[in-house]
Structure 1
């Protein structure tokens, strides 16, 4: 089917929102929508009407219509199925089918429409996938938020324990000062300093300096148990290391990697641009790429009102054939002609203090040469188990991959693998039964490496192999060249950052 446009209109044919999937003038789409109510036959139960050139497929939504405009050559059954999916999307964003609420949610609805149809053809998606794509849910962000919440919770617990310790010290010193007063019959220098310490609004430092030998508390103090848990953990870690286990602080390594991906760039200018890409790869263990998908987006954030009316100059060096799509409010003709991004109405500024997605692109392929990193895993059965050889090769040498982690599953209950040769570093997670092979950087000067190990098991035990990495270079080689004012074409100071990361990368 070829879908020309999707619109939500009222019974008079006035468009509330409309998304065109082929080149079409505003007057043309308004004319088609205005003609729609006149073509409907009252009293007949139909879901479509036709003219000499187009077909209208519609579904009532209380006082409104969900309307698709297609060519007459399209499959009516596919049209109706697509219409039902469009109609299901509307209630996801609008509780009441009112014009005002449709207008309020127009951007969200248009983004959802774009996930259903691309370049006039229906995408193979369902409602749950559309919700996931439009929410742009990030696993890395969830991990970062979880780590940060854990750190904040631990800091609050530490603060409470410290406060109890300080209060206990104050009570102990108050007891000591009262006993000193009873024996001497007056305010001695020691008692005077002790009293000042008790009522000092910041008592931590004076405790150490002015009361050098406080009396011991009569009962057990909770403050004495402050480091018990940490000592137990340290003792347990020491036992593991003495038994040959290599222990790494997972929270530290996780937070370091996530921070690289989630922390905003320092010294952001009032015009800040983010080029973000994520890749999903599924490859076969015997070679061959089953599927690879790269989703990218350029997000613009403006924090100064005087820089609201700008246009962005791109250097589009893509040679892989990605499909690009601009935001509905972006001048598409200007982008196609010169790769420049600006608003359709140059008199209007971009919204302030909001991350705006102005351009998105997609690449889906089964071409092995487009894989950024190829992984070959060769398990060979021996009399006592398996010898496993695994190697990587950087296929796209223009990329620089950082924090590369290759995770190889191992069979349980057979002990740790015996590693014979390794480029980079490795560690064995005995709880997850996973051998983790890490490289800080893979680039043109360090584009290949290998790992060999032996362990009891069967060749199928070592799959799927999972890979993760981040990169500060765009996979599709889309770069921000310049930003200029619309009025006088003068340059605008801007900052930009690039983030290319893995959503899923596995060899099955």
Structure 2
């Protein structure tokens, strides 16, 4: 059989749907065949359940269905029995997608019906399919997709349950920690006041390092706020005020203006936490690097703030002694906690309590050693960033380059954030690494997974259609490293009295705090 087209009509002869299966037929010819059928049916008085009418060139096989007609247009040479069998299959398809056989239901489901018709006839010839197969094909059901979705749902539920359990655990540990940390810090304060020195010492608080319990101790190394030169500060402040007034004026005139971010403070959030399997005694050595670098070269300020902190999870080891090996050649002055034995540290490099009756509090990060190391020159920094914006007509071409200046360090998760003019998408022509345009923050973030001697230099080049050279500063940089400036290493942890070894874990990490090119 050769099936030319399938059509659905209303009782008064209005065409509701027509699907052509032969591409050789012209539109005018098909229109003539479609318009002929209502005239032939109206003139046919004796209508049966399955009927057909013929013209000189085609045969119409049709079936009345309540308020509609279903008609198949075939050639006169086709097998009438096959035509009727195909008509019955088409008649079963319509109730599958339409709740009733009327004009409105056909209109509402016209595309579903056409898709089902296409599964029955291909290029004028019927396919060997049944109603169940047609339903499966049109639904485009995939067993693999169902399995994938079920796995996704199961993973989401597991993650949610894990999150709730962690939240309960963190809340309980935070409550327990609040009851013991105050006593340890208070003991330090009383010890300092009862010493031989006439100047009372402030209580020594835990360093910046965060805990697994959702709490963070105060930062003991944060100095007085630094202020720049008065002339330069006034100049920068005046420019910011003029830009703000200009943007405010545009908003008053009804313009939608977005603020250009001055810093990308949240870029540091992308640096993942280093997960270390913790033993009963966990020693963490951390350094934070702050640097203010001038865009034309030179260093405004730079320093390293470091600390050694303990977290003892087993109360049996709250009097442990930490053996440190100092391999650093730097001039950093190490300061020991007032409650520790300073003489033992100076002679044996051992961090040990003065009084065994005042142990370390368990499950709390406690700072025991700290230092500050100023960096006198730009050559002391691990990474040098150069940003060269060139004014075009119109637009700006920007070239950014990094150079690893300390060859003995490996930097990880490096993110270089370059501010852009508001609502301006960059056109990147060259990038060593990956980049991401943060439209909401008007910032281009250049990402390098790791920088070492194998890729000690890299370049990012892009253009923007508007703006000026001042829009691309300050450049904010974040990275981390397991290599420290002050090279301290934990060699052993022992009990206070017997000196027996204690199972311990250690963690060393350098992170950036405020690394900017101004």
Instruction: Provide TM-score, normalisation by structure 2.
Output: 0.49
Return the TM-score normalized by structure 1: 0.50
Highest CA radius of gyration, 1 or 2?
A: 2
